[in-house]
Amino acid sequence: MSVLDGRLTALRGQAREWAADFRAAALELDRDPGLVADHLDLPGVRCLSTFGVPPAFQVDPPTVGPYRFDGTNGLERAVVLEEFAAGDIGMTLAAPGPSMSGVLVAKLGDQEQQEWFFGRMTAAPTWTCFALTEPERGSDASALSTALREEDGELRLTGAKRYVGNAARARYAAVFARTRPGPLGVTAVLLDTEAEGYHAEPLDSLGIRGAQIGAVTLNGVRVDRDRVLGRHLSPARRGIWASLQVFNELRPSVAALALGIAGAAHAYVREHYAGALGEDRDRIEVLGGRIAATRALVHRAAAAVDATGDGYLASAAKARACALAEETTLAACDLLGPAARLSHPLLDKLVRDARGVEFMEGTRNIQHLNLFQGMRSGRVGA
């Protein structure tokens, strides 16, 4: 059963319309991620540039008919991101905006920090990045080695981050670091990436090239004390706790991105193999039914996160949607016959992008472990 009301259904229809622009630019952005700067006037890109800014800081929030949207709850994000990813996940993730950093700032920032960060998001299209993952430690916040230390009366940040979306084009970065050993020693700071000692460069990638995933080196970057997020909170309410809360909130969004890729591949094979008969036709219909069922799961998971902050069901949604994206894109290639990836460049891109989503916000094994914990504790399937 759908959990979408008339307001969200209207949002979904508008996002689908905007996503057509994303599809038209998908292959050129895949070849040259720098071209995103030429698409800042697209309605969908403008929407993403402030999507996630809380109402108190919104200047001109996106509207659809009589409805206003700000992208600060999981269900809104899931609805929009599925449609945008069906257009092109590269453009979706390449767009400027608060993105993951916005969720962190909304959760951890005090009034001044939120005004500082979100004021910049509404003043002009601004890229941000969320730097948690490290070269040897992945996204395990408890194992961070990036250090925030006091030197000569100033806070200095030293370390390295990897696989950070938009790292090289971001003007502001939310960076996780450690102030001391132990789980309470993890904190997050906001950086102006023009600060001395910050260096970021894109990494070669096969999928989701538009996001220009990159590596960051932090060589004694000076951090203003008022840019330490959660400074007004106890250590137990920031750091690892905060990273887990952000991941819980965003997990349905990643599932929606994967679902969008699956939907795009399904629509592609239906268009280019419209005369399918017999087993092939049945196979295409079954894929369509699985996409609809997974959409219902993603929406339920997003609603659960909005209501309780609980991310167990979202782990199920993320794992299933990512598996479905890979299965659907590969099935589309199989149905379109030998050399399909060579003769259908957009389908080839969808195959590469589907594999990329698997590595966003925890792989399938991590999601299965989280889901197991939810089932064991009675939080899922009760």
Residue-range domain boundaries for the chain: 6-95, 98-235, 240-377
The domain defined by 98-235 folds into Butyryl-CoA Dehydrogenase, subunit A; domain 2 (2.40.110)
Whether the per-residue pLDDT at 184 is higher than 90: the answer is no
Please report, rounded to a whole number, the percentage of residues in the chain having pLDDT higher than 90.
77
Q: What is the CA radius of gyration of the chain?
A: 20
pTM for this prediction: 0.94
Query: Which of 22-31, 237-246, 308-317 bottoms out in mean pLDDT, i.e. has the lowest?
Result: 237-246
Whether the per-residue pLDDT at 2 is higher than 80: the answer is no
CA 350 to the chain's CA centroid: 17
Whether the per-residue pLDDT at 143 is higher than 90: the answer is no
What is the per-residue pLDDT across 73-91, written as a single tens digit (0 to 9) for each? 999 999 999 999 999 999 9
Architecture of the domain delimited by 240-377: Up-down Bundle (1.20)
Query: Which of 166-180, 192-206, 297-311, 356-370 bottoms out in mean pLDDT, i.e. has the lowest?
Result: 356-370
What is the per-residue pLDDT across 321-350, written as a single tens digit (0 to 9) for each? 999 999 999 999 999 999 999 999 999 999
What is the per-residue pLDDT across 202-249, written as a single tens digit (0 to 9) for each? 999 999 999 999 999 999 999 999 999 988 888 777 777 877 888 889
**Strand ranges for the chain from DSSP E:** 63-64, 67-68, 128-131, 147-151, 154-164, 172-178, 186-192, 198-202, 214-223, 228-229
Cα–Cα distance between 339 and 346 in angstroms, integer? 13
Domains 98-235 and 240-377 share a fold: no
> 347: helix, coil or strand?
helix
- Residue 340 tokens, joined: 């399909």
DSSP H helices, 149-277, are 240-272
Give the single-character DSSP code of 156. E
Beta carbons of 84 and 91 less than 8 angstroms apart: yes
